[in-house]
Amino acid sequence: MLHRGSLLATYTARVRVGVLLAGPAGDGGFVDGALEAVAGATAAGADIDLRHGAPELPDPSWDAVVCHGIQHLDWVRRHRTTYRRIVLTDRPPTRDGLEGVTLVDWCWDQAGYCAGAFAATLAGGDPIGLIAGPPVLTQRRMASAYAAGAMSARGGPVMVHHLTTFEDRAGGESSGKLLAGPGGCAVVAHSADAAGAAGCASARKHGAATVGFLGSLDDHVAFVRSDIAGVVGEILRRLHGDEELPAVLACGLDSGYLDLMLAEGSPPELHQAVERAKADVRAGVL
């Protein structure tokens, strides 16, 4: 399991790290968190080559590379033997072709389970919804856990919409409208970065309460806090310090990097529902 490292890291080793992003800045979550980590590490003296997208060929000046997002999976498989240390900040269904690669398991399903229990309790038996990203493993796990958490709280129906991309804001808006309107969802959560945030904004316009993901509380009644910047920053610190990395970095509820945050003044029964859900997760329900 990955645990929060020093916030005062210094970078003295002359290690050059390539960081490959899979999307543009401004998503309010996954990409922006990595950019924050890179900015902090660079200010502390780290040598980082930041790229938006992956180069066709590996850069020979890199000593290590962080590939931020499942979109880089094929590139990692092609070039994993080029570098002694390579990190893919996601966890695909299998390790085939990924021998020697460090994977990041964000464990979003753990927070998703808690979010489902929270949403079902708040909805009081009415339907709840989830706007998820493309149906890659992490998003499928998130959707399944959200539904399981709702079931644990004896909630009503759960509706899940998977978007085609994390940038599909129009699709997110349409899903939010459908879930909160014809779907009758009292609460709509999301796990789809900028597209999901657009969906939640649409759902609120149609009367639903919303649960956010990766950003901040804003207009939500709760949000999944996954400290992307903290995790990527810790990875960069370890790479520059030439520290060993495990095969999988797990960033779950007990790591300090993941939690479900409730709005100030939330009723005790909502806090209790979340604490029961956390106990379920720690007992191995997922």
In a domain, 9, yes or no: no
Question: Is the distance from CB of 158 to CB of 113 less than 8 angstroms?
Answer: no
Q: What is the pLDDT of residue 216?
A: 87
Please tell me whether residues 118 and 89 are part of one structural domain. no
- Is 277 inside a domain boundary? yes
pLDDT string in tens for the chain (286-residue length):
655 554 445 666 689 999 999 888 888 889 999 999 999 999 999 999 999 999 999 999 999 999 999 999 999 999 999 998 999 999 999 999 999 999 999 999 999 999 999 999 999 999 999 999 999 989 999 999 999 999 999 999 999 999 999 999 999 999 999 999 999 999 999 999 999 999 999 999 999 999 999 888 999 999 999 999 999 999 999 999 888 899 999 999 999 999 999 999 999 999 999 999 999 999 999 9
Co-location of 82 and 216 in the same domain:
no
Domain shared by 77 and 90, yes or no: yes
Q: What pLDDT, on the 0 to 100 scale, is given for residue 27?
A: 83
Whether 179 and 266 share a structural domain: yes
pTM for this one?
0.91
Q: Which two tokens mark 200? A: 């939640």
Q: Look at strands 85-88 and 258-262 and give their pairing.
A: unpaired
Q: Is 206 domain-assigned? A: yes
Q: Are 275 and 190 contained in the same domain?
A: yes
Q: What total number of domains does the chain contain?
A: 2
Q: Are 156 and 184 part of one and the same domain?
A: yes
Whether residues 121 and 160 fall in one domain: yes
**pLDDT at residue 215, as a whole number:** 81
Pair 185, 112 in one domain: yes
Clarify whether residues 140 and 115 are in a common domain.
yes
Q: What is the DSSP code (8-state) at residue 263? A: P
Q: What is the pLDDT of residue 122?
A: 98
**CA–CA distance, 173 with 201 (Å, rounded to integer):** 7
CATH of the domain at 76: 3.40.50.2300
Burial letters 48-67, b for 16+ CB under 10 A, else e:
bebeeebeeebeeebbbbbb
Rounded CA-CA distance 196/237 in Å is 31
**6 lies in some domain:** no
* Residue 23: predicted pLDDT: 84
Burial class (CB in 10 A: 0-12, 13-18, 19+), 254: middle
In a domain, 101, yes or no: yes
Instruction: Supply the pLDDT for residue 3.
Output: 55
* pLDDT score, position 7: 45
126 plus 200 within the same structural domain: yes
Q: Partners of 249 in the beta sheet? A: 104
Q: Could you tell me which of 127, 120, 173 has the C-alpha nearest to residue 146? A: 120
- Whether 87 maps to a domain, the answer reads yes
One-letter amino acid for residue 144 of the chain: S
Q: Give the pLDDT score at 28.
A: 80
In a domain, 61, yes or no: yes
Residue 43 lies in domain: 16-107+227-255
Contact partners, residue 265, CB within 8 Å, separation at least 6: none
- Same domain, yes or no, for 164 and 176? yes
Task: Indicate whether 37 and 127 sit together in one domain.
Answer: no
